[in-house]
Structure 1
Protein backbone atom coordinates (compact mmCIF):
# COMPACT_ATOMS: atom_id res chain seq x y z
CA UNK A 1 0.00 0.00 0.00
CA UNK A 2 1.29 3.43 -0.91
CA UNK A 3 2.01 5.74 2.01
CA UNK A 4 0.05 8.94 2.47
CA UNK A 5 -0.62 11.66 5.04
CA UNK A 6 -4.05 13.15 5.70
CA UNK A 7 -4.12 16.67 7.09
CA UNK A 8 -6.45 19.61 7.44
CA UNK A 9 -6.02 22.34 4.83
CA UNK A 10 -5.79 25.70 6.57
CA UNK A 11 -4.92 27.76 3.47
CA UNK A 12 -5.80 26.24 0.11
CA UNK A 13 -3.75 28.87 -1.73
CA UNK A 14 -0.57 27.38 -0.25
CA UNK A 15 -1.21 24.03 -1.96
CA UNK A 16 -0.38 23.22 -5.57
CA UNK A 17 -3.56 21.65 -6.95
CA UNK A 18 -2.53 22.03 -10.62
CA UNK A 19 -1.95 18.32 -11.33
CA UNK A 20 -5.17 17.27 -9.56
CA UNK A 21 -7.14 19.91 -11.47
CA UNK A 22 -5.70 18.78 -14.80
CA UNK A 23 -6.43 15.13 -14.03
CA UNK A 24 -9.97 15.82 -12.82
CA UNK A 25 -10.77 17.96 -15.88
CA UNK A 26 -9.62 15.11 -18.15
CA UNK A 27 -12.22 12.97 -16.40
CA UNK A 28 -14.86 15.64 -17.01
CA UNK A 29 -14.97 17.06 -13.46
CA UNK A 30 -14.84 20.84 -13.03
CA UNK A 31 -15.44 21.04 -9.29
CA UNK A 32 -11.76 21.37 -8.30
CA UNK A 33 -11.49 24.45 -10.45
CA UNK A 34 -14.64 25.72 -8.68
CA UNK A 35 -13.02 24.89 -5.34
CA UNK A 36 -10.09 27.20 -6.11
CA UNK A 37 -12.29 29.96 -7.57
CA UNK A 38 -14.71 29.88 -4.63
CA UNK A 39 -11.82 29.91 -2.18
CA UNK A 40 -10.12 32.86 -3.89
CA UNK A 41 -13.29 34.96 -4.05
CA UNK A 42 -14.32 34.04 -0.50
CA UNK A 43 -17.53 32.24 -1.48
CA UNK A 44 -16.39 29.03 0.22
CA UNK A 45 -13.30 28.91 2.41
CA UNK A 46 -14.42 26.00 4.63
CA UNK A 47 -13.85 28.25 7.64
CA UNK A 48 -17.27 28.45 9.30
CA UNK A 49 -18.04 26.35 12.39
CA UNK A 50 -18.44 22.73 11.36
CA UNK A 51 -16.69 23.21 8.03
CA UNK A 52 -13.49 21.37 7.20
CA UNK A 53 -11.25 20.86 4.18
CA UNK A 54 -8.71 18.05 4.11
CA UNK A 55 -5.96 17.04 1.76
CA UNK A 56 -4.14 13.77 1.40
CA UNK A 57 -0.48 13.97 0.45
CA UNK A 58 1.88 11.30 -0.89
CA UNK A 59 5.43 10.60 0.33
CA UNK A 60 6.79 13.37 -1.89
CA UNK A 61 4.38 15.87 -0.32
CA UNK A 62 2.17 16.17 -3.41
CA UNK A 63 -1.57 16.37 -2.93
CA UNK A 64 -3.32 13.21 -4.12
CA UNK A 65 -6.83 13.75 -2.75
CA UNK A 66 -9.00 16.50 -1.37
CA UNK A 67 -12.43 16.86 0.14
CA UNK A 68 -14.42 18.90 2.58
CA UNK A 69 -17.71 19.52 4.29
CA UNK A 70 -19.92 22.59 4.56
CA UNK A 71 -23.27 23.31 6.12
CA UNK A 72 -25.58 22.29 3.30
CA UNK A 73 -26.21 25.52 1.36
CA UNK A 74 -29.41 24.05 -0.12
CA UNK A 75 -31.04 23.46 3.27
CA UNK A 76 -32.25 25.71 6.08
CA UNK A 77 -31.51 22.93 8.58
CA UNK A 78 -28.22 23.84 10.31
CA UNK A 79 -27.66 20.17 11.24
CA UNK A 80 -27.25 18.99 7.62
CA UNK A 81 -23.72 18.93 6.24
CA UNK A 82 -22.74 18.51 2.61
CA UNK A 83 -19.67 16.57 1.51
CA UNK A 84 -18.04 18.70 -1.19
CA UNK A 85 -15.23 18.93 -3.70
CA UNK A 86 -14.16 15.34 -3.11
CA UNK A 87 -11.55 13.97 -5.51
CA UNK A 88 -8.94 11.20 -5.33
CA UNK A 89 -6.18 10.91 -7.94
CA UNK A 90 -6.62 7.86 -10.19
CA UNK A 91 -3.30 6.35 -9.04
CA UNK A 92 -4.49 6.35 -5.43
CA UNK A 93 -7.98 4.93 -5.79
CA UNK A 94 -9.03 1.61 -4.28
CA UNK A 95 -6.26 1.58 -1.66
CA UNK A 96 -8.07 3.32 1.20
CA UNK A 97 -7.23 6.97 0.52
CA UNK A 98 -10.81 8.02 -0.17
CA UNK A 99 -12.19 5.94 2.68
CA UNK A 100 -9.69 7.52 5.10
CA UNK A 101 -10.60 10.99 3.89
CA UNK A 102 -14.38 10.50 4.25
CA UNK A 103 -13.95 8.79 7.63
CA UNK A 104 -11.93 11.72 8.97
CA UNK A 105 -14.39 14.29 7.65
CA UNK A 106 -17.34 12.43 9.19
CA UNK A 107 -15.55 12.05 12.52
CA UNK A 108 -14.71 15.76 12.73
CA UNK A 109 -18.16 16.87 11.64
CA UNK A 110 -20.21 14.53 13.86
CA UNK A 111 -20.67 17.11 16.62
CA UNK A 112 -21.96 19.67 14.11
CA UNK A 113 -24.32 17.65 11.92
CA UNK A 114 -27.01 14.98 12.21
CA UNK A 115 -27.13 14.16 8.50
CA UNK A 116 -24.59 14.35 5.71
CA UNK A 117 -25.66 14.68 2.08
CA UNK A 118 -23.77 14.71 -1.19
CA UNK A 119 -24.34 14.79 -4.91
CA UNK A 120 -22.68 12.50 -7.39
CA UNK A 121 -23.54 11.42 -10.90
CA UNK A 122 -21.09 8.56 -11.42
CA UNK A 123 -21.58 4.86 -10.80
CA UNK A 124 -18.12 4.48 -9.23
CA UNK A 125 -18.80 7.24 -6.70
CA UNK A 126 -22.23 5.77 -5.97
CA UNK A 127 -20.63 2.41 -5.12
CA UNK A 128 -17.93 4.11 -3.06
CA UNK A 129 -20.35 6.13 -0.94
CA UNK A 130 -22.81 3.27 -0.43
CA UNK A 131 -19.89 1.12 0.75
CA UNK A 132 -19.36 3.75 3.45
CA UNK A 133 -22.96 3.55 4.64
CA UNK A 134 -24.54 6.34 2.59
CA UNK A 135 -27.93 5.54 1.15
CA UNK A 136 -29.35 6.68 -2.15
CA UNK A 137 -31.70 9.54 -1.40
CA UNK A 138 -34.06 10.94 -4.00
CA UNK A 139 -35.81 13.39 -1.64
CA UNK A 140 -33.87 16.34 -3.03
CA UNK A 141 -32.82 17.44 -6.49
CA UNK A 142 -29.58 18.74 -4.96
CA UNK A 143 -28.36 15.49 -3.39
CA UNK A 144 -28.13 11.84 -4.36
CA UNK A 145 -26.95 10.25 -1.12
CA UNK A 146 -27.37 10.80 2.61
CA UNK A 147 -26.01 9.43 5.86
CA UNK A 148 -27.45 9.78 9.35
CA UNK A 149 -24.72 10.30 11.93
Structure 2
Protein backbone atom coordinates (compact mmCIF):
# COMPACT_ATOMS: atom_id res chain seq x y z
CA UNK A 1 0.00 0.00 0.00
CA UNK A 2 2.91 2.24 -0.80
CA UNK A 3 1.15 4.57 -3.24
CA UNK A 4 -1.90 5.02 -1.04
CA UNK A 5 -0.50 7.97 0.95
CA UNK A 6 -1.19 10.69 -1.68
CA UNK A 7 -4.59 9.16 -2.37
CA UNK A 8 -5.29 9.02 1.37
CA UNK A 9 -4.44 12.72 1.66
CA UNK A 10 -6.78 13.51 -1.24
CA UNK A 11 -9.48 11.42 0.39
CA UNK A 12 -9.05 13.25 3.71
CA UNK A 13 -9.13 16.62 1.94
CA UNK A 14 -12.27 15.65 0.03
CA UNK A 15 -13.87 14.49 3.30
CA UNK A 16 -13.03 17.81 4.95
CA UNK A 17 -14.45 19.75 2.00
CA UNK A 18 -17.58 17.63 2.07
CA UNK A 19 -18.00 18.20 5.82
CA UNK A 20 -17.43 21.94 5.39
CA UNK A 21 -19.93 22.16 2.54
CA UNK A 22 -22.48 20.21 4.59
CA UNK A 23 -22.09 22.64 7.49
CA UNK A 24 -22.37 25.60 5.10
CA UNK A 25 -25.48 24.11 3.51
CA UNK A 26 -26.96 23.72 6.99
CA UNK A 27 -26.29 27.39 7.73
CA UNK A 28 -27.78 28.43 4.39
CA UNK A 29 -30.89 26.34 5.02
CA UNK A 30 -31.23 27.88 8.48
CA UNK A 31 -31.03 31.42 7.02
CA UNK A 32 -33.57 30.49 4.37
CA UNK A 33 -36.00 29.15 6.98
CA UNK A 34 -35.54 32.30 9.05
CA UNK A 35 -36.22 34.51 6.01
CA UNK A 36 -39.37 32.51 5.26
CA UNK A 37 -40.50 32.83 8.89
CA UNK A 38 -39.98 36.58 8.76
CA UNK A 39 -41.94 36.82 5.49
CA UNK A 40 -44.79 34.77 6.95
CA UNK A 41 -44.80 36.95 10.05
CA UNK A 42 -45.00 40.09 7.90
CA UNK A 43 -47.82 38.59 5.85
CA UNK A 44 -49.73 37.64 9.00
CA UNK A 45 -49.15 41.11 10.44
CA UNK A 46 -50.39 42.68 7.20
CA UNK A 47 -53.53 40.53 7.25
CA UNK A 48 -54.16 41.44 10.88
CA UNK A 49 -53.66 45.13 10.15
CA UNK A 50 -55.91 44.85 7.07
CA UNK A 51 -58.63 43.33 9.27
CA UNK A 52 -58.23 46.15 11.78
CA UNK A 53 -58.50 48.70 8.96
CA UNK A 54 -61.72 47.11 7.69
CA UNK A 55 -63.21 47.06 11.18
CA UNK A 56 -62.24 50.67 11.72
CA UNK A 57 -63.72 51.63 8.33
CA UNK A 58 -67.04 49.96 9.24
CA UNK A 59 -67.19 51.85 12.51
CA UNK A 60 -66.16 55.11 10.93
CA UNK A 61 -62.65 56.46 10.65
CA UNK A 62 -61.24 59.94 10.33
CA UNK A 63 -59.21 61.19 7.39
CA UNK A 64 -55.97 61.40 9.38
CA UNK A 65 -56.40 57.90 10.76
CA UNK A 66 -57.18 56.66 7.25
CA UNK A 67 -53.99 58.28 5.93
CA UNK A 68 -51.97 56.71 8.75
CA UNK A 69 -53.41 53.29 7.95
CA UNK A 70 -52.68 53.69 4.24
CA UNK A 71 -49.15 54.96 4.86
CA UNK A 72 -48.42 52.12 7.24
CA UNK A 73 -49.87 49.54 4.82
CA UNK A 74 -47.65 50.91 2.04
CA UNK A 75 -44.59 50.61 4.27
CA UNK A 76 -45.64 47.11 5.26
CA UNK A 77 -46.10 46.17 1.59
CA UNK A 78 -42.61 47.50 0.83
CA UNK A 79 -41.17 45.45 3.69
CA UNK A 80 -42.99 42.37 2.37
CA UNK A 81 -41.59 42.96 -1.12
CA UNK A 82 -38.08 43.31 0.26
CA UNK A 83 -38.50 40.18 2.35
CA UNK A 84 -39.72 38.24 -0.69
CA UNK A 85 -36.50 39.25 -2.43
CA UNK A 86 -34.52 38.16 0.61
CA UNK A 87 -36.28 34.77 0.53
CA UNK A 88 -35.46 34.37 -3.17
CA UNK A 89 -31.85 35.31 -2.44
CA UNK A 90 -31.54 32.76 0.37
CA UNK A 91 -33.24 30.18 -1.85
CA UNK A 92 -30.62 30.79 -4.55
CA UNK A 93 -27.87 30.53 -1.94
CA UNK A 94 -29.32 27.22 -0.75
CA UNK A 95 -29.35 25.89 -4.30
CA UNK A 96 -25.74 26.95 -4.79
CA UNK A 97 -24.79 25.39 -1.46
CA UNK A 98 -26.59 22.20 -2.39
CA UNK A 99 -24.76 22.04 -5.72
CA UNK A 100 -21.44 22.58 -3.94
CA UNK A 101 -22.24 19.85 -1.43
CA UNK A 102 -23.23 17.41 -4.17
CA UNK A 103 -20.03 18.19 -6.06
CA UNK A 104 -17.96 17.55 -2.94
CA UNK A 105 -19.82 14.29 -2.35
CA UNK A 106 -19.14 13.15 -5.93
CA UNK A 107 -15.45 13.96 -5.51
CA UNK A 108 -15.34 12.13 -2.18
CA UNK A 109 -17.08 9.10 -3.68
CA UNK A 110 -14.66 9.07 -6.60
CA UNK A 111 -11.61 9.18 -4.30
CA UNK A 112 -13.16 6.52 -2.08
CA UNK A 113 -13.68 4.27 -5.08
CA UNK A 114 -10.09 4.85 -6.21
CA UNK A 115 -8.76 4.08 -2.75
CA UNK A 116 -10.85 0.92 -2.54
CA UNK A 117 -9.69 -0.22 -5.98
CA UNK A 118 -6.11 0.48 -5.01
CA UNK A 119 -6.47 -1.56 -1.82
CA UNK A 120 -8.09 -4.41 -3.72
CA UNK A 121 -5.28 -4.29 -6.29
CA UNK A 122 -2.66 -4.35 -3.52
CA UNK A 123 -4.40 -7.31 -1.86
CA UNK A 124 -4.57 -9.18 -5.17
CA UNK A 125 -0.89 -8.48 -5.79
CA UNK A 126 -0.06 -9.65 -2.28
CA UNK A 127 -2.01 -12.88 -2.85
CA UNK A 128 -0.13 -13.47 -6.11
CA UNK A 129 3.20 -12.90 -4.36
CA UNK A 130 2.22 -15.23 -1.52
CA UNK A 131 1.09 -17.88 -4.01
CA UNK A 132 4.37 -17.60 -5.92
CA UNK A 133 6.33 -17.96 -2.68
CA UNK A 134 4.25 -20.96 -1.69
CA UNK A 135 4.68 -22.51 -5.15
CA UNK A 136 8.45 -21.99 -5.00
CA UNK A 137 8.59 -23.48 -1.53
CA UNK A 138 6.53 -26.46 -2.64
CA UNK A 139 8.61 -26.94 -5.79
CA UNK A 140 11.85 -26.78 -3.78
CA UNK A 141 10.50 -29.25 -1.26
CA UNK A 142 9.37 -31.66 -3.98
CA UNK A 143 12.77 -31.35 -5.68
CA UNK A 144 14.50 -32.05 -2.34
CA UNK A 145 12.28 -35.00 -1.65
CA UNK A 146 12.96 -36.34 -5.14
CA UNK A 147 16.71 -36.01 -4.60
CA UNK A 148 16.45 -37.75 -1.24
CA UNK A 149 14.44 -40.64 -2.64
CA UNK A 150 16.77 -41.15 -5.62
CA UNK A 151 19.79 -41.42 -3.38
Q: TM-score scaled to structure 1, two decimals? A: 0.21
Flag the structure with larger Rg: 2
Query: Which structure is higher in RCO with an 8 Å CA cutoff and minimum separation 6?
Result: 2
Question: Which structure: greater strand fraction?
Answer: 1
